[in-house]
Structure 1
Amino acid sequence: MTGDRQHESERRSAGGHRRTRRVRTGTRVGVLLALAGVLAACAADQTGSVLTPAVIKVPEQAPKTTGRTRSDEADHAKLVASFGGEYRSPAAHRMITDITDRLVRASDRPEESYAVTLLDSPVVNAFALPSGRLYVTRGLLSLASDSSEVAAVLAHEIAHVTLRHATARSEMALRSQLVSRVVADVLNDPVTGAQLENQSKFTLARFSREQELEADTNGVRVLAQAGYDPFGAGRFLDALQRTMALKSGNGSAAEPDMLATHPATAERIALVTRAARRIGAPGLGADDRARYLAAIDGLAYGDNPGEGLVRGRRFLHPGLGIAFEVPDAFAIENTRNAVLGTTPEGSRRLLFDQVEASGDRSLEDVLRATWNDAIETGSVENRIIGGRSTATALSRGKDWTFRLAAIRMGETTYRMIMAAKGATDPEPAFRRWLESLRPIEPEEAAALKPAHLRIVTAAPGDTVEGLARRMSVPDRAVDRFLVLNGLQRGAAVRPGQSYKLVVE
């Protein structure tokens, strides 16, 4: 968990981390949103037919308010810091640079130059700045199974740059703002101005989705022209979708709402697969799998220990000096601003974060100030748990029942929230979780090591289940092994073939 600042970048191909100590955010709305479903948002059905990528053009006569300028070193440094810093892996960086150079030579603008930075973040992400800076997270490298899959992501990002998508999007946004302001201020019609501004948000979201589809189509073409397997794009997006489903805990990946800037992942898979089939049959082009796996052998996997680690049902944060254990059946994830947890069916959820609160403010006030719904009268209790001042409370919403706690440890105040669907009070499980919060000893903190990828060669008699048992993952080891290695359920490992394992 971290309280970092978001940076606007050229489009993000895979999903959307980090720096400073993770456990921030005390906003009222943020709590409900983080509990995933306590408040519903308007959503559009995007599961229909595949959209035809639009031709994105800004009229030549439009006033030019933006341009393609080189990002200065200060902005670059801030962006890198917000994603955990630069990850040092000479072999992986050399491989990504070679792939990029090969793609650029095959692109529509081979004269342009690019600089690649590998980011120390476990999230699966890549993005490009109009200046030609490309960023790839180690989380993305961990998920990809061969060079053609990484090349597909990079080709997509390069397409955003060559097609000048950032400039087009900025032009549209600025013109929309200008029209809304003129109607509201000059023509003295604030109601219509507000309506136009609201409509422009949906227009920009659709515009961005169309740009994503255009970059997908262009990326597949460049991928093939560079000699890579064009079906790598579909394979990577499929792995991304399966990873999102694992994170959701219910077997299905969350899809974007109507203001999302990316189309549905299934929609993108269909589009890039169709584009690849127009080029040729599966097997066309190289995937360089052996070289790729050799380059990422030993790559750090998952969270950095300094920003908190999930170990099964335990969460440990050496930087903050705290640890806790969640109840049985909960799977937890360390996100940018909080630790989130859910049960497989989604009927119980939890959140742990850090809130800004002065030492002279009562913990009851902290709970009331950071919670949207009403706290049940008479439910607030102030007590000492594990030697720490703690305030607990009960809140009942329309569809959920919440247990809340604010805990003071030294100069820091933390929140623990557990939600149960319906009228059932989650107090017994909540109390066990609350009582498990403890400081961690320096020796324990020093012993924490990050997980990493180990590339192994399958021997005769090896099975998916057997290799998965060797993985250090919190749950669903078989599913995680399959996704990491680009295998579908029911597939068998092949003797002599290399595979990725997550080990400590």
Structure 2
Amino acid sequence: MRRFLAKAALPLVIVSFIITACVVQQSAITGDRRAYGYSWEQEKQIGRDADQQIQQQYGIYDNDELERYVENIGQEMLSVSHMRREDTPEQYKNTEFYFRVLDSPVVNAFALPGGYVYVTRGLLSHLENEAQLAVVLGHEIGHVAARHASQRAFEQQIGQVALLGGAIAGEELLGIPGGSVLNLGSQAAQLLFLSYGRDDERESDRLGVEYAAMQSYQAAEGADFFVSLERMSRQSGQSIPDWQSTHPDPSERAKTIPQLAESWSQKGYDLRIEGTDQYMSKINDIVYGNNPREGFTRNGLFYHPELKFQFPYPQDWQVINQRSLVAVVNKEQDAVSIMKLDSKSADVQASVNEFLNQEGITTVSKSAATNNELQAYEAVASGQTEEGTQIKFYIYALKHDGTIYRFLNYSTLDKFSNYEPRFKQITSGFKPLRDQSILDIQPVRLQAVKTNRSGTFESFLPENFDGMPIEITANDLAILNQVDLDERIEAGTWIKLPRQ
């Protein structure tokens, strides 16, 4: 049983890396010498360091066969990329690449410097064939080969490069002045999502199509995926979709990708491989949407079936469920309760003391606490942010099923007394989960099937989605399948349908 807490969103923070000097090196794409913010060796080190944090924060999807499949397609693209060509400089040619599937429902793909490429299960569920996957992986390899992150670092010319990170900590969620307060005790990994310019994205689109075409994939298929992204964007009411907000508009890419593919066809490349049968067989049974076994809310309670616990939260507060923590934030964003697993402390008192012993923290009170049959310990403390804001904390640790859970509850000093009863409502309400119907809950999975008749796509959908642990609409499934609800589906066509 995995000792992690799952995620429902991927909030971002800003992390800075100091650039001491520019580096002039040969480009793997053009062969010309150009200036970069990092040396290639530094880029590889950044990737190595962040890769472990990425895996810890988001988790690897538990399907070895699917991961090997993505790895194989990725290596195919890599073998014809600018990283592996006859005239490629040795420093690039000898760089090993890693392709990973992250356990996240968010539709996303990204690459870290130095050869680390990631796709989410959310993205894989929205693709239709190997050709689309090849274009996406080729696109991400293109970012690494073109060293876009390092280019951006140099071009900023400000002595720093701002990289988007995926670490979540309470200060990024709250409007509390002096949000760095959680740095006093936060162990959150600082991850790298690289922010590229639109020209970088267009170049990677071009490279992704090139690499896919060179391996005989129907690279034009990639356009349909971007049409789906545009539909997701419209449905969510956002002008830019979740997948890489700095990318060119999806409708633009839907037009240019077929044109790029056609140019490679005219050069004599046989773009014949679609790979739908193979792809559908690999993603069959993939988890769709948020996995309720890793935490969900219902009627003012947070349940974690995998770890067998539950706790209440104020109904007008928001729950942010991540792999490394669960945060409960009030509407005004001036109070937060953050629960994390403490794998280092020997007991509940040691867990509380670990926070209290930090520099800048003043203990007000501490004592053993009672929580049904669970061992518990609590404390009240105060601290001050770098900006001078006075913060008050209520720290509460308990032991359940051999694991220590620590709640860090805090607000500004002048508002703490208003929120303390809410904090204690959350912590004292933590208890073992014994409702068998919730303990047995399972995620929604996608079943890839071939239709045995013709009809509109909507005619193949279940009559209703009642009983599903996540909200699903007919339009969600149409987008997932890259079709319209009233589109005619011929017999023998692959479609993906939810089941539980």
Q: Which TM bucket (shorter chain)?
A: 0.5 to 0.7
**For the Cα contact (< 8 Å) 1:381–1:393, is it kept in 2?**
no
Q: Please show how residues 329-348 of structure 1 align to structure 2 within 5 Å.
A: 332=319, 334-340=321-327
Is 1:141 matched up with 2:124? yes
The 1:350–1:483 alpha-carbon spacing in structure 2 relative to 1, beyond 3 Å, is farther
Which residue matches 2:398? 408
* Residue 239 (1) aligns with residue 233 (2): no
Distance 2:115 2:11 in 1: 36
What are the Cα deviations for residues 263-320 of structure 1, in whole angstroms up to 9, with x where unaligned?
Answer: 6346353553353264479xx97654454223211224467788x333756431534x
Aligned-partner residue type, residue 148 of structure 1: A
Selected match of 1:475 from 471, 474, 495: 471
Q: Please tell me the residue identity of whatever aligns with 1:414.
A: R
Q: Contact 2:99–2:118 (CA<8 Å) still a contact in 1?
A: yes
2: CA distance between counterparts of 1:252 and 1:440?
A: 38
What is the CA-CA distance between 1:469 and the residue it aligns to? 0.9
Alignment partner of 2:248 out of 244, 251, 267: 267
Give the Cα–Cα distance (whole angstroms) in 2 for the partners of residues 207 and 237 of structure 1: 22
The equivalent residue for 2:181 is: none
Corresponding residue number in structure 2 for 1:66: 40
Which whole-Å CA distance do the structure 1 matches of 2:143 and 2:10 have between them? 33
Q: Partners in 2 of 1:309 and 1:20 — Cα distance?
A: 13
In the alignment, is the contact (CA less than 8 A) between 1:463 and 1:493 conserved in 2?
no
Aligned to 2:279: 292
* Aligned equivalents of 1:80, 1:362: Cα separation in 2: 28
Using a 3 Å threshold, how does the CA distance of structure 1 residues 351 and 475 change in structure 2: closer, same or farther? Answer: farther
Q: Please list the CA deviations of residues 452-493 of structure 1 after superposition, one character each: whole Å capped at 9, or x if unmatched.
A: 3222456758548746616834235445434433356xx336
Check the 8 A contact 1:234/1:269 in 2, yes or no: no
Q: Report the residue type matching 1:440 in the other structure.
A: L
Describe the SS at the equivalent of 2:311.
Answer: strand
Q: Is 426-435 or 297-306 further displaced after alignment?
A: 426-435
1:218 alignment partner in structure 2? 207
Q: Give the Cα–Cα distance (whole angstroms) in 2 for the partners of residues 228 and 253 of structure 1.
A: 29
Quote the offset at 1:156 in angstroms.
0.6
User: Residue 238 of structure 1: CA displacement?
Assistant: 5.0
Q: Please point out which of 317, 323, 332 is paired with 2:310.
A: 323
Any conservation in 2 of the 1:309–1:317 contact (CA below 8 Å)? yes
How far the C-alpha of 1:162 sits from its partner, in A, is 3.7
Indicate the SS of the match to 1:201: strand
Residue 293 of structure 1 aligns to a residue whose secondary structure is: helix
Unmatched segments (≥5 aa) in structure 2: 16-28, 87-92, 165-192, 266-270, 386-390
Q: Is contact 2:131–2:217 with CA below 8 Å preserved after alignment?
A: no
Q: CA deviation at 1:97?
A: 2.3
Distance 2:74 2:139 in 1: 13
Query: Paired residue for 1:228, among 181, 198, 218?
Result: 218
User: C-alpha separation between the residues in 1 aligned to 2:97 and 2:261?
Assistant: 31
RMSD: 6.4
Per-residue Cα deviation, 1:114-167 (whole angstroms, up to 9, x for no partner) = 86645362355545577766554434322323333322211112213443557x
Name stretches of at least 5 consecutive residues in structure 1 with no aligned partner. 1-18, 25-33, 42-54, 177-195, 257-261
Partners of 2:327 and 2:348 lie apart in 1 by 28
Q: Which among 160, 171, 183 is matched to residue 200 of structure 1? A: 160
Residue matched to 1:455: 448
Alpha-carbon distance in structure 1 between the residues aligned to 2:194 and 2:282: 38
Q: Distance in 2 between matches of 1:100 and 1:322?
A: 42
Name which of 159, 172, 177 aligns with 2:142: 159
Q: Is the 8 A contact 1:148 1:228 kept in 2?
A: yes
Are 1:464 and 1:492, in contact at CA under 8 Å, matched by a contact in 2?
A: no
CA distance in 2, matches of 1:240, 1:436: 43
8 Å CA contact 1:456–1:499 kept in 2: the answer is yes
Partner of 1:438: 431
Which of these residues, 467, 474, 492, is aligned with residue 486 of structure 2? 492
Over the matched positions of the two proteins, sequence identity in percent amounts to: 17
Alpha carbons 2:394, 2:410 under 8 Å: kept: yes
Structure 1 segment 14-53 matched on structure 2, within 5 A: 21-22=3-4
Residue type of the alignment partner of 1:316: H
CA contact (8 A) 2:341 2:406 kept: yes
Aligned residues of 1:470 and 1:503 also touching (Cα < 8 A): no
Q: What SS class does the counterpart of residue 472 from structure 1 fall into?
A: coil
Q: How many residues align?
A: 421
Distance change >3 Å, CA 266–CA 407, structure 1 → 2: same
TM-score by length of 2: 0.57
Is the contact between residue 446 and residue 499 of structure 2 (CA under 8 Å) also seen in structure 1?
A: yes
Deviations 1:216-272 (A, max 9, x none): 3332444456442436257248539948986xxxx548899xxxxx96346353553
Shift of 1:439: 1.6
Structure-2 residue corresponding to 1:12: none
The answer as to whether partners of 1:122 and 1:301 remain within 8 angstroms in 2 is: no
- Return the alpha-carbon distance in structure 2 between the equivalents of residues 272 and 336 of structure 1: 33
Work out whether 1:90 is the aligned partner of 2:77: no
- Deviation string, structure 1 residues 75-102 (Cα, Å, up to 9, x no partner): 9995896464574453674476257526
Query: Any conservation in 2 of the 1:103–1:223 contact (CA below 8 Å)?
Result: no
What does residue 30 of structure 1 align with?
Answer: none
Q: Does 1:101 align with 2:97?
A: no
Are the structure 2 counterparts of residues 368 and 264 from structure 1 closer, same or farther at C-alpha, using a change threshold of 3 Å? same
Take 1:373 and 1:238, find their aligned partners in 2: how far apart are those partners? 50
> Using the alignment, how far apart are the partners of 2:444 and 2:256 within structure 1?
37
The alpha-carbon distance between structure 1 residues 404 and 239, as it changes in their structure 2 partners (threshold 3 A), is farther
Provide the TM-score with structure 1 as the length reference: 0.56
**Pairs within 5 Å for 1:389-408:** 389=376, 406-408=396-398
What is residue 51 of structure 1 aligned with on the other side?
none
SS at match of 1:486: coil
How far apart are the structure 2 equivalents of 1:239 and 1:122?
Answer: 17
Q: Report the structure, 1 or 2, having the larger strand content.
A: 2
Query: What is the one-letter code of the residue matched to 1:438?
Result: K
